[in-house]
């Protein structure tokens, strides 16, 4: 094999490897984004539930009385 052909094959392999790496990174970032969206939605639901259960969330019955 000539050095030019080996160089071409190596360049092609590196290019393909780079493309595969980018695709995998994009897929991972999309998965993280979906997970983050679900987490945010769950937290928003929990906050909404807490507000409907305890509209005055600034005071809690189980909190110790403040010292005067």
From residue 61, how far is each of 17, 29, 46 by CA, in Å?
Answer: 60, 43, 19
Across the range 13-18, mean pLDDT stands at 97
Mean pLDDT estimate for the chain: 88
Identify the pLDDT of residue 64: 60
Q: Which residue has the higher pLDDT, 63 or 12?
A: 12
Of 40-44, 45-49, 57-61, the one with minimum mean pLDDT is 57-61
Under the banding of pLDDT at 50, 70 and 90, the label for residue 1 is confident
The residues near 57 (Cβ < 8 Å, ≥ 6 apart) are 50, 51
């Amino acid at each position: 094999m000539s050095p030019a052909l080996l160089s071409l094959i190596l360049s092609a392999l590196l290019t393909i490897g780079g493309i595969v790496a980018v695709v995998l990174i994009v897929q991972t970032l999309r998965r993280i984004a979906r997970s983050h969206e679900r987490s945010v939605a769950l937290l928003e639901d929990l906050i909404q539930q807490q507000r409907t259960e305890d509209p005055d969330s600034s005071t809690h019955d189980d909190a110790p009385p403040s010292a005067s």
